[in-house]
Structure 1
Amino acid sequence: MKKSRLMIFAILVLAGILITQLHQIPNLDKQLGQDKATLKQAKTSQEQSQTMVSSPQSQQDNVSDSTKIVTAFVKTFSNQPTSSYSDTLKGMASQKVINGLTQTFAPSVTFSDKEHYEVPIVAVKNAWGSDLNYLVVAKSDAQSVAYTITYDTDEKQITNISRLTLKGAFDNEK
């Protein structure tokens, strides 16, 4: 009799454990799905990192080409009248950037024929991504102007530009 009670108790305990485990299966399936998605994302990220690391020459060429485009872009819009922006900047920058420059410079700034802007500084902030961030300084005899520029290597054009305030921007004036 004691053995049968002990057996019934053991069976009830094992049945309780089995029911508890069966109720946890959906949660475990959900966790497994989330972990698989996380693993897939990590593998994709690792492959992208390995591609960049394994082909630094192509990334360096990419940065070099985009730096030339950014430099040409700043020289072009600094030394051209705003009326020609839509033609001369097409292909180098998005239409949003061209419109923004036209609206910003057209009412208040006219670049003089006597002034000529050079671009002595083009610095890359982040060289390992599809969006390259640049700090560009354009300098004339009268002033220096700094810009932050975002170049999208996928679209092969400038997608954002903003002008920075330089302390002593008119320090060459007498």
Structure 2
Amino acid sequence: MKNSRLMIFAILVLAGVLIAQLNQIPNLDKQLLKAQTTLKQVKTSQEQSQMIVSSPQSQQDNVSKSTKMVTSFVKTFSNQPTSIYSETLKGLASQKVINELTQTFAPSVTFSDKAHYEVPMVAIRNAWGSDLEYLAVAKSDAQSVAYTITYDTDEKQITDMSRLTLTGAFDNEK
């Protein structure tokens, strides 16, 4: 009798442990899915890094071409009247950027026929990934303006930009 009670107790304990383990399965499935997603993201990031590291010349060429495009873009919109932005900037920038320039940036900056803007600085802020970020300064005798510009190397055009406040060496607004 004592052995049968002991067996029943052992069976109940083992059944309790089994039920507890079965209740953990959904949590473990969630943890597995989360770990697989994280692993996939890490692998994608690693592949991009390996591609950039394994082909630095190609990345350097990509950045060099993009810098020339951004410089050309800043010179073009700085020295053109806003009325022809949609024609002159087509292919260099997305329609969103062209609309922002026409409606937002240009009216707040004096782009007259007499003012000629030089682009003394186009510097890269972020060279990793397909979106390169630049800092550009356009300078005339009367004022200087700075922009952050995002260039998408897949689309081969400027996809975003914003105007910055200048202080220091380029701050010559009167």
Q: Could you tell me the TM-score, scaled by structure 2's length?
A: 0.85
Unaligned runs of at least 5 residues, structure 2: none
Amino acid at match of 2:120: P
Aligned residues: 171
* RMSD over aligned Cα atoms: 2.2
The answer as to whether partners of 2:130 and 2:153 remain within 8 angstroms in 1 is yes
The answer as to whether partners of 1:78 and 1:111 remain within 8 angstroms in 2 is no
Unaligned runs of at least 5 residues, structure 1: none
What whole-Å deviation, never above 9, does each CA across 1:131-158 have from its counterpart, x for those lacking one?
Answer: 2111111122332221211111121111
What whole-Å deviation, never above 9, does each CA across 1:53-112 have from its counterpart, x for those lacking one?
Answer: 222222211111110001001111111222221111110011121122222425974422
Q: Could you tell me the TM-score, scaled by structure 1's length?
A: 0.85
Which consecutive segments of 4 or more residues in structure 1 shift more than 4 A?
A: none
The answer as to whether partners of 2:48 and 2:129 remain within 8 angstroms in 1 is no
The answer as to whether partners of 2:80 and 2:111 remain within 8 angstroms in 1 is no
Q: Structure 2 vs 1, CA of residues 31 and 87 (structure 1 numbering), >3 Å: closer, same or farther?
A: same
Q: Structure 2 vs 1, CA of residues 39 and 163 (structure 1 numbering), >3 Å: closer, same or farther?
A: closer
Partner of 1:112: 113
How many angstroms apart in 1 are the aligned matches of 2:62 and 2:37?
A: 31
Amino acid at match of 1:56: P
How many angstroms apart in 2 are the aligned matches of 1:10 and 1:106?
A: 83
